[in-house]
Amino acid sequence: MGIRDYGKRLNADTQEIDTQRLCQRFKDTGFTSLEDLQLRTRTKIAGEVKRMRTKPRSGIPAVEVVISDGTGEAVIIFSGRRNIPGIDLGRCIMIDGVPHRDADRTVVLNPAYTLLA
């Protein structure tokens, strides 16, 4: 086993530990898990912010936030915003909105949100 193989195995183990941590964190919260989402139905989901970026949509600024609860990921899009105070990487948030599929990803547009401790 070379150093590259060891690095790949170590990274895979880290991702697995992170997934288990998130599953445990959001298991008994009462929110819908991302793997059990019903599309086009208002729902409450919770997750940890994994990635963020500002990406214009049709010339209008928008913040894209990717959250994960360990069972899957969802993209939350806040149109007309360049930043969202309080939402940072690693922060846990609850989203209340209507998810839909867009280009093989689950997306929620302009939802209500609550910052979690």
On the question of pLDDT at 1 being above 60, the answer is no
C-alpha Rg value of the chain to the nearest Å: 16
Instruction: Tell me the two tokens of residue 22.
Output: 């998130």
More confident residue, 80 or 16: 80
Measured distance CA(25)–CA(22) in Å, rounded? 5
Cα atoms in the Cβ-side hemisphere of radius 13 Å centred on 23: 10
Contacts of residue 115, defined as CB under 8 A and 6 or more positions apart, other chains included, come to: 86, 87, 91, 92, 93
* CATH number (domain holding residue 99): 2.40.50.140
Domain carrying residue 89: 3-115
Q: For the chain, how many structural domains are there in total?
A: 1
Q: What is the pLDDT of residues 58-97, one digit of tens each?
A: 899 999 999 999 999 999 999 999 999 999 999 999 999 9
